[in-house]
Amino acid sequence: MKIVVLDGYTENPGDISWAPLEALGEVTVYDRTAYEESPLIAERIGDAEIVVMNKTPISKETIDKCPNLKAIAVLATGYNVVDCEYAKSKNIPVMNVPVYGTDNVSQFAVGLLLEACSHIGHHNDSVHAGEWASNPDWCYWHYPMIEVSGKTAGIIGLGRIGQNTAKILNAMNVKVLAYDSFQSDAGRAVAEYVELDELLAKCDFIFLHCPLFPSTEGIINKDNIAKMKDGVVIVNNSRGPLVVEQDLYDALESGKVAAAALDVVSTEPIKADNILLKAKNCIITPHISWATKDARERIMNMTAENIKSVIDGAPINVVNK
């Protein structure tokens, strides 16, 4: 079994092992291939039967150039860069890793909130730059800080990650409201379900934990921002296109939104002209909510299980059935 990994560096920059995949066949690993359509993609897949990728696109054209291809294994939960329908028409299962980093993503989401409210990184930098040592007062702060306890948070998308974030917020004495098309008893145990407009109107903090669907794309837009409380804090470590970035920029500049804390943007890697790079009170991190070593080892092991299931003739975690 020939296995080709097209963009392995993000999953494994050298601190974990490819051994779980190597136990299943002949493995070729490329650190990076392409994040846009390129002839190099099909060239590198060659006559391999399994292609493993994260963000390298697998298009109809690539599939047609790789007649030996039997399965596509995604080193992530999201699979929008794969032409799943065409792969299905060729009886090629596309498999993802559906659950591997719930705790990590929730931890990071709350960390983004706390950073937006307390500006810890900024003040650490200022101390190391010498400002405290030369300050006439025994303490100082550059931004108003926000107390989290006693506030209300709204979570748009109360799946596994949203529920886990809600549990953490509950422990911090934060009331949690949630909007989700699919309600559950597990969700009701940690949050109160409300309609979207009520959530927007009542919440001091808004978290995005929903998938990117046509119904959620651009859900943070000027009209919905206008329904929010003045001084709201928005946290997004789900998908960048959930936010209309120009509208968020305008709201940050006006002060309607006090702060935004983002681990994702509309185009990744971020473009140098992304308007949010110029916005006031906007924290941006490089899509790393998922990236602890523990989580990446789980991705590796679960991807190996996905590939083994193909070899065994009963693919699992197939997203294009």
User: CA 26, CA 29: separation in Å to the nearest integer?
Assistant: 10
Buried/exposed code over 137-166 (b: 16+ C-beta within 10 A; e: otherwise): eeeeeeeeebebeebbbbbbbbbbbbbbbb
Active-site residue, from 44, 119, 209, 239:
239
Q: How many CB atoms are closer than 10 A to CB 184?
A: 12
| Annotation says 268 is catalytic | yes
Q: How many CB atoms are closer than 10 A to CB 43?
A: 12
User: CA 285, CA 264: separation in Å to the nearest integer?
Assistant: 7
Q: How many CB atoms are closer than 10 A to CB 99?
A: 11
Count of H-run helices and E-run strands, the chain: 12, 12
Active-site residue, from 119, 123, 209, 287:
287
| Annotation says 119 is catalytic | no
Look up residue 107 and give its DSSP letter. H
The Cα angle at residue 281 between residues 276 and 173, in degrees rounded to 5: 120
Which residues 6+ apart lie within 8 Å of 171 measured at CB? none
| Annotation says 122 is catalytic | no
- What residues are labeled active site? 239, 268, 287
